[in-house]
Amino acid sequence: MYKIGHILDRYVIRNMLFSYAIIFAIFVGLRIVVDLFTEIDEFTETLLPAHKVAQNILSYYGYHLFQYYQEFSGPIVVFAALFTLFRIRRANETVIILSSGISLYRLLWPIVLVGILLNALLIVNQELIIPRIADKLVRKQENAAGDRIMLVELQNDQSNTLLLGNLDASQATTIMTEAFLIRRDDLGRMTHLQYAPKAQWDPRQKAWIMKDADSLQTLPAGKAPQVVKTDVVYPTDLSPRELALRNSSTYLRVQSTSRLVAMSRQDYIRRRMGPALEMEKHFRFTNPVINVIILLLAAPLIISREPKSVFMQMLKGLAVIVGAFGLAFAAQQLGAEKPLLAAWLPVFMFGPLAVLILDSVKT
């Protein structure tokens, strides 16, 4: 029975973690450099002092480091495993292992275990860290400090009411200027239109407060509607944080899986973003599995007791990684019609293939 802790395990794990750190630094470093090079004008468009610009850049990429880790961690683990095995194979250390009567599978197990643990960190990052800093991750480069007014497009809440305005989070208390509430019935027909130059969010009541709001109520045919002044206290799930998140194209990606499940049970959210929500929810379960399967798919291509070219084996492994991740990404992009199939198809495609390749290794 396999037990971790052997000197061979420590040697392989140390090499893999070293490769992981190097590849992580390269991937994430290039991602930051390319983004900073193309978006530097966005950081400097408000003519801030140099130290303030540097502070905004550090803040922006400091938070986005967790998002980049989420994007690249799966491929980085596989590449780290591949380069670890490449270094061992190139140094002919597999010959020593085989001559000692140790199976090549024994070389794979610590790499697989480390890969599983690193993918577990991916889950921790997605479920615990990213949701807590989601409001920082959806900010644009020009609003890295979160002190700019944001246009809130029509957003509906659980009461089928639409909210529109300009969100200003730079104040001590979050306010919305030019605020509109459009209340609707179950059929989507407007029943009340309410407007105030300013609305203030009350976190205790979880409500928007509009003082001296103009309120217009629709009346039966033949009766002229009248505008009256009134104070409005409107409880809603559209908090300032929720509004900022919904204004972003990455709204679903920064939610925890438990939040996605809860959202899928709310009719008004499911009607608005049903296919995308279902696809994101299923990919949360399949992505870590796909990462491990691709690791099992590529790693055996490097180790062999046959005198094959190490570089050719490395190229085959890289080709398998790029192709497998490319197919998984394509399934994610084309899965709007059948999200369940798109999420699980790579698992059923690559899983049996990984078993066949593992079984074909001559140990």
The domain limits of the chain are: 7-138+272-360, 147-247
Stretch 131-141: mean pLDDT, rounded? 89
pLDDT value at position 220?
64
Nearest CA to 248 out of 130, 329, 330 is that of: 130
Give the CA-trace dihedral at 355, 356, 358, 359, to 10 degrees: 110
Stretch 207-225: mean pLDDT, rounded? 78
Q: What is the distance between the alpha carbons of residues 283 and 289, in angstroms, rounded to a whole number? A: 10
Could you tell me what percent of the chain has a pLDDT over 90? 15
- Whether the Cβ atoms of residue 294 and residue 321 lie closer than 8 Å to each other: yes
Question: Which stretch of DSSP H or E encloses residue 137?
Answer: helix 134-137
Stretch 151-162: mean pLDDT, rounded? 84
pLDDT tens readout for residues 291-312: 888 888 887 777 765 555 666 7
pLDDT at 67 over 50: yes
Task: Identify the DSSP state of 133.
Answer: G
Q: Which residues have C-beta within 8 Å of that of residue 310, sequence separation ≥ 6?
A: 86, 89, 90, 302
Q: Which of 19-28, 137-146, 259-268 has the highest mean pLDDT?
A: 19-28
Stretch 215-232: mean pLDDT, rounded? 75
Which of 159-163, 291-295, 335-339 is predicted least confidently? Answer: 335-339
Q: What letter represents residue 170's amino acid? A: S
Q: What is the pTM of this model?
A: 0.81
Q: Look at the domain 147-247 and name its fold.
A: lipopolysaccharide transport protein A fold (2.60.450)
pLDDT value at position 26?
92
The strand pairing partners of 83, in sequence order, are none
pLDDT category at 336 given cuts 50, 70, 90 is: low
pLDDT value at position 133?
92
Task: Identify the DSSP state of 363.
Answer: -
Stretch 323-342: mean pLDDT, rounded? 74
Q: Could you tell me which residue, 338 or 68, shows the higher pLDDT?
A: 68
Stretch 49-72: mean pLDDT, rounded? 89
pLDDT value at position 322?
78
Stretch 111-116: mean pLDDT, rounded? 89
pLDDT value at position 172?
57
The first and second tokens of residue 201, run together, are 């969010």
The strand pairing partners of 190, in sequence order, are 184
pLDDT value at position 221?
61
pLDDT value at position 274?
76
pLDDT at 1 over 50: no
Q: β-strand 150-156 against 162-168: which pairing, if any?
A: antiparallel
In the numeric block, the tokens 């709001």 are attached to 213
In the numeric block, the tokens 């490319």 are attached to 326
Give the mean pLDDT of the chain: 82
Q: What is the distance between the alpha carbons of residues 219 and 191, in angstroms, rounded to a whole number? A: 8
Question: Which stretch of DSSP H or E encloses residue 217?
Answer: strand 207-217
pLDDT category at 29 given cuts 50, 70, 90 is: very high
Cα torsion 199, 202, 208, 210: sign = negative
pLDDT category at 21 given cuts 50, 70, 90 is: very high
pLDDT at 25 over 90: yes
